Structure 1
Amino acid sequence: MPLLLVLDGNSLLHRAYHAAAFGELLAPDGSPVWALQGLVGYLARAAAHLSPDAVIVGFDCPVSSARRSDFPLYKAQRPDKSESLVAQLAVAPLLLEECGVCTVVPPAYEADDVLASAAGAARAAGWQSVLMTSDRDAFSLIDATTSVLRVRNGGYGEAVLIGADDLPALYGVTPAQYQDFAALRGDPSDNLPGVRRFGAKTARRLLESFGTVEAAWQADPALVTAAVGAQAATFFTDPSSRGIVERNRRLMSQRADLPLPALASARLPLMYTVMRQALRARGINLGPSLWSLVGGAAPSPALIEQTPELRPWVFRGGLSARRDPTPGQLSLF
């Protein structure tokens, strides 16, 4: 079955910017490019490990937001981005297009919506898809044909490939329950408060007991109290909790119907000379690490040993809370 690799461009570029894995690399004209190099490195590393047949990279619309129009406080708590980050965010879609990578910037929507729409398009075409992101919202998209490659603090070595059978072991909920789980606990990074007294453990206990939020609302209050405790049950059964959960689910839901280029236009391999020229024009030289994107032969063991970015990507078997962004880093994601 063919495989589509879909990247959350904003999420991964922010991650590369913060990690500064390649140092604060500058282009010949002095413009910052270290996050751009990191983003392309993520793409090349994932392609080398997964051998996709096609690649799509999505970015947030930089000029308007349907979610902010719906809820003006959406992401309103985030501090202003640095000039060097803004500059690289602006250049990233253009650079990838110059490299020949299929790139989508949807009007008023976000990279998350590109991931959801691409996963749906892949499923409809009989393909599998892997969604590469540092954002947990993509967990709700996991199914029999869709997996999530989550990149966390620590870079390549902390990537986790999560399929339909893995999420329950990691979070105690199924992919179909994940949106209720997230809506209950909220998302501070998007300025979406959850129901009071509902963190991850309490949300998991409620869903383990009732399956869905709706079923819990319809259940005997005594059973809710038995599942989550008296304090959490009091807040959950308060009428205001419905508004909180419904708002969060609405804003966390990814659109799966965005118009996308045909999968045929996203096919690999890319043209090596075109890609290398586009990167070199901005002072980025990844050399042999591009092999998987351009249809080249796998590097020799000796070259891999000399070039850290070519070494095999070992996926971790679990998620550790200490690897998630700290509150001071939330403006990056």
Structure 2
Amino acid sequence: MPTPSPLLLVLDGNSLIHRTYHAGAPDAEQDAWALRGFARYAARAVSRLRPDAIVVGFDCPEHSTRRADFAGYKAHRPPKPGELVTQLAAAPGLLRAAGLCTVVPGGYEADDVLASAAAHARRSGWRSILMTSDRDAFALIDEHTSVLRIRNGGFDEAVLIDPAGLHELCGVHPWQYLDYAALRGDPSDNLPGVRGFGAATSARLLNALGTVDAAYADLDAGGHAVRDAVGAPCADRLADPASRAAVDRNRRLMRMRTDLPIPALDGARLPLASAVVRAALAAVGPLTLGPALWSLTAGRTVPRPTEPHPPVFRRPQRHRREPTPGQMSLF
């Protein structure tokens, strides 16, 4: 049996700390509960997936090139709670102190770190798994890259999404996902899409035409194929110059950077030094990682699983036209 190529695990620090912050409940002795929850997520992922190296990405806290491009980008979001701001600010230093390769790119976001790390891994002959609770990373899936999607219910409800799973979930291929997302829009980022283009309509258009640019070309030539795919009202909306501008803006802002500097993967390899990890985690209070800590520090040999866990997403054959249990929590 051939030896599998090395595996890089890339964590979306902002996404996962937001999730653990809102899932936890502070008390007088738990002023860093989101950081501890993130550490548990990371340890469990390493324990189950057995990666050879790990990289963690965070949003730049000072400046956003996307907001400079479009002032409305994420502008509708309320201010973060003070405790969340404090824990997000502390996270990169804590993880670096523990020995984890941590990247905070100037002006860009954790999504861009995921994209750049996946590209770096691919060039280096590695596979990668991107761990996040956001769906933006679906655009990065390919034969070398999967997304470990953290859903409601935490790590135990996570699913590993590969190209076949994405097609079953969304009805499009990974190379079409950026166009799919741009048509639908993203309310969480304050990026409206085209009216009438939800998940099903966007997938129908792309299945018929392949890309948004091909749909534009068809509309310029009369729009017969677009009308056959999505109907005359939707075709007319997509042909509207304002809709085209919105889709083009969304594609520009949703496209992730793949060329940010990522440290050499050999420098991000596991295991970590047990004493260093324990000393760093002690700074956020009592934290027991149990057997998961063995995977981070190689304090005890844990074999790589023979079956993927978390499971690869597949829709059961007899339920092809029905949502799977918990599927709505993906969105």
TM-score, normalised with respect to structure 2: 0.89
Q: Percent identity?
A: 57
Matched, 1:96 2:95: yes
What displacement does 1:281 show? Answer: 2.3
- The one-letter code of the counterpart of 1:177 is Q
Unaligned runs of 5+ in 1: 300-311, 326-333
What displacement does 1:214 show? Answer: 1.1
Match of 1:5 in 2: 9
Contact 2:142 2:174 in 1 (8 A): yes
Matched, 1:36 2:40: no
Distance in 2 of aligned mates of 1:34 and 1:317:
33
Distance in 1 of aligned mates of 2:310 and 2:146:
16
Q: Secondary structure at the match of 2:55?
A: strand
Contact 1:6 1:130 in 2 (8 A): yes
What displacement does 1:324 show? Answer: 4.0
Match of 1:16 in 2: 20
Match of 2:239 in 1: 237
* Distance of aligned partners of 1:223 and 1:314 in 2 relative to their CA distance in 1, 3 Å threshold: closer
Distance in 1 of aligned mates of 2:101 and 2:134:
21
Matched, 1:144 2:178: no
The runs of at least 4 consecutive aligned structure 1 residues that moved more than 6 Å come to: none
Q: Secondary structure at the match of 1:156?
A: strand
Query: Which among 290, 295, 299 is matched to residue 292 of structure 1?
Result: 295
What displacement does 1:280 show? Answer: 1.5
Match of 1:164 in 2: 163
Match of 2:58 in 1: 59
Contact 1:184 1:203 in 2 (8 A): yes
Q: Secondary structure at the match of 1:126?
A: coil
Distance in 2 of aligned mates of 1:292 and 1:24:
28
Q: Deviations over 1:56-105 (max 9, x none)?
A: 00000000000000001100000111111111111111111111111000
Distance in 2 of aligned mates of 1:156 and 1:245:
33
Contact 2:115 2:258 in 1 (8 A): yes
- Equivalences for residues 265-304 of structure 1 within 5 A: 265-288=267-290, 289-297=292-300
Q: Deviations over 1:149-171 (max 9, x none)?
A: 01011101221101122211111
Query: Which among 255, 258, 272 is matched to residue 253 of structure 1?
Result: 255
What displacement does 1:114 show? Answer: 0.3
- The one-letter code of the counterpart of 1:37 is R
Contact 1:159 1:315 in 2 (8 A): no
What displacement does 1:241 show? Answer: 1.9
- The one-letter code of the counterpart of 2:253 is L
What displacement does 1:282 show? Answer: 1.6
Distance in 2 of aligned mates of 1:284 and 1:182:
41
Contact 2:162 2:313 in 1 (8 A): no
What displacement does 1:230 show? Answer: 2.4
Distance in 1 of aligned mates of 2:274 and 2:152:
30
* Distance of aligned partners of 1:167 and 1:259 in 2 relative to their CA distance in 1, 3 Å threshold: same
Distance in 2 of aligned mates of 1:118 and 1:272:
25
Q: Deviations over 1:203-222 (max 9, x none)?
A: 01100111111111222423
What displacement does 1:131 show? Answer: 0.5
Q: Deviations over 1:169-227 (max 9, x none)?
A: 11100000000000000000000000111111110110011111111122242331221
Matched, 1:198 2:202: no
* Distance of aligned partners of 1:25 and 1:292 in 2 relative to their CA distance in 1, 3 Å threshold: farther
Distance in 2 of aligned mates of 1:12 and 1:298:
27
Matched, 1:225 2:227: yes
Q: Secondary structure at the match of 2:281?
A: helix
Distance in 1 of aligned mates of 2:313 and 2:231:
34
- The one-letter code of the counterpart of 1:89 is L
Distance in 1 of aligned mates of 2:130 and 2:301:
23
Distance in 1 of aligned mates of 2:194 and 2:310:
38
May I ask how many residue pairs the two structures share in their alignment? 309
Contact 1:158 1:315 in 2 (8 A): no
Unaligned runs of 5+ in 2: 303-308, 316-323
- The one-letter code of the counterpart of 2:299 is G
Query: Which among 314, 328, 331 is matched to residue 322 of structure 1?
Result: 328
Contact 1:159 1:316 in 2 (8 A): no
- The one-letter code of the counterpart of 1:70 is D
TM-score, normalised with respect to structure 1: 0.88
Moved more, 193-202 or 235-244: 235-244
Contact 2:159 2:310 in 1 (8 A): no
Q: In angstroms, what is the RMSD of aligned CA positions? A: 1.8
